[in-house]
């Protein structure tokens, strides 16, 4: 399967403003790329690249002031399989966990394990450890939060999402991550592309957030927002929570003027194509 994906983002800044953008694929998927356009900006500016502490590819640039756009369009080879499903995957006692997973047991900016620990133990402590416990957490979050774009708030934390019962995909992810960590299960935040391949049509397409949980000696995808196995996830970045993987971080004020994202099977393109 060939999946086309990309973005076209326009902002406006009152003065020259440095930006860091996490919009590029992680290195693990680069070998699968079939076609990758250069990142283009309007007006054109120099671009720098670096890897952050989590191995994500970051773009650095300075928006010159005024209206500024950044765009890229790619095609990737994908096996067309659903997310992994392994109900036998076990939890690891903390002494068995690899060193690099331990950071994903700790509270973070949007995932307050101290606030939610008693709630997690009360709800999930009696469930046998392993895949089933993580799925129970995702089932709870999926049913507890009502998806509502109009209720989006960039400052909402996992505990606030629990209390308010509303939010967008990042809020589903943050609450599930926090509850997993409260149960001593490493969990991390992921963003990337997820089209409607094999699922109801979503219009407009947006960047998506889901989670990865360390079970059975590997990181496994769970999706508390959709709570279904999906096809064609294209991962961009992961971190402790959304604070680590902003799509666009500006070191100064900006206003979003345009935002388009696409992700679809080339063999079954949507009626409205991005070009």
What is the chain's pLDDT, residue by residue, as a tens digit (275 residues)? 999 999 999 999 999 999 999 999 999 999 999 999 999 999 999 999 999 999 999 999 999 999 999 999 999 999 999 999 999 999 999 999 999 999 999 999 999 999 999 999 999 999 999 999 999 999 999 999 999 988 889 999 999 999 999 999 999 999 999 999 999 999 999 999 998 888 876 666 789 999 999 999 999 999 999 999 999 999 999 999 999 999 999 999 999 999 999 999 999 888 777 76
Q: Indicate the helix (H) or strand (E) that contains 118.
A: helix 113-124
Q: Which of 215, 156, 219 is nearest to 183 (CA)?
A: 215
Same domain, 102 and 236: yes
Give the pLDDT score at 181: 98
Supply the range of the domain harboring residue 27: 2-80+247-265
Same domain, 144 and 35: no
Same domain, 145 and 67: no
Q: How far apart are CA 256 and CA 69, in angstroms?
A: 10
Same domain, 225 and 253: no
| Tally of CB atoms within 10 A around 117 | 16
Same domain, 141 and 37: no
Number of domains in the chain: 2
Report phi then psi at 149, rounded to 5: -55, -35
Same domain, 104 and 239: yes
Straight-line distance from the first to the last Cα atom of the chain, in angstroms, rounded to the nearest whole number: 20
Q: Is residue 260 part of a domain?
A: yes
Give the pLDDT score at 202: 66
Same domain, 133 and 195: yes
Same domain, 158 and 234: yes
Q: How far apart are CA 123 and CA 126, in angstroms?
A: 8
Same domain, 239 and 117: yes
pTM of the predicted protein model: 0.95
Same domain, 124 and 184: yes
Q: What residues are paired with 142 via a beta bridge?
A: none
Same domain, 158 and 218: yes
Task: List, in order, residues 6 or more apart from 5 with CB less than 8 Å away.
Answer: 73, 74, 75, 76, 193, 195, 234, 261, 262, 263, 264
Same domain, 54 and 166: no
Q: How far apart are CA 28 and CA 30, in angstroms?
A: 6
Q: Is residue 171 part of a domain?
A: yes
Q: Is residue 52 part of a domain?
A: yes
Q: Which domain CATH number covers 54? A: 2.60.40.2250
């Amino acid at each position: 399967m060939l999946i086309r994906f990309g973005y076209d983002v326009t902002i406006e800044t009152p003065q020259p403003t440095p930006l860091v953008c996490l919009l590029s694929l992680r290195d693990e998927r680069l070998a699968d790329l079939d076609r990758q356009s250069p990142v283009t900006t309007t007006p054109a500016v120099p671009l720098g690249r670096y890897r952050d502490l989590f191995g994500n590819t970051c773009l650095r640039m300075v928006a010159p002031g005024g209206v500024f756009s950044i765009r890229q369009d790619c095609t990737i080879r994908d096996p067309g399989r659903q997310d992994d499903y392994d109900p036998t995957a076990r939890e690891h006692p903390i002494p068995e966990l690899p060193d690099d997973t331990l950071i994903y047991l700790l509270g973070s900016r949007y995932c307050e394990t101290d606030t939610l620990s008693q709630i997690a133990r009360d709800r999930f402590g009696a469930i046998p450890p392993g895949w089933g416990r993580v799925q129970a957490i995702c089932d709870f979050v999926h049913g507890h939060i009502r998806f509502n774009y109009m209720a989006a708030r960039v400052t909402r934390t996992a505990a606030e999402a629990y209390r308010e019962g509303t939010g967008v995909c990042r809020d589903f992810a943050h609450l599930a991550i926090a509850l997993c960590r409260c149960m001593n299960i490493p969990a991390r935040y992921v963003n990337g592309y997820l089209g409607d391949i094999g699922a109801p049509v979503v219009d407009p397409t947006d960047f998506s957030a889901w989670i990865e949980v360390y079970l059975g000696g590997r990181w496994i995808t769970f999706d508390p927002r959709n709570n279904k196995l999906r096809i064609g996830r294209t991962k961009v970045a992961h971190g402790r929570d959304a604070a680590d993987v902003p799509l666009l971080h500006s070191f100064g004020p900006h206003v979003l003027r345009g935002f388009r994202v696409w992700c679809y099977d080339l063999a079954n393109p949507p009626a409205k194509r991005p070009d």
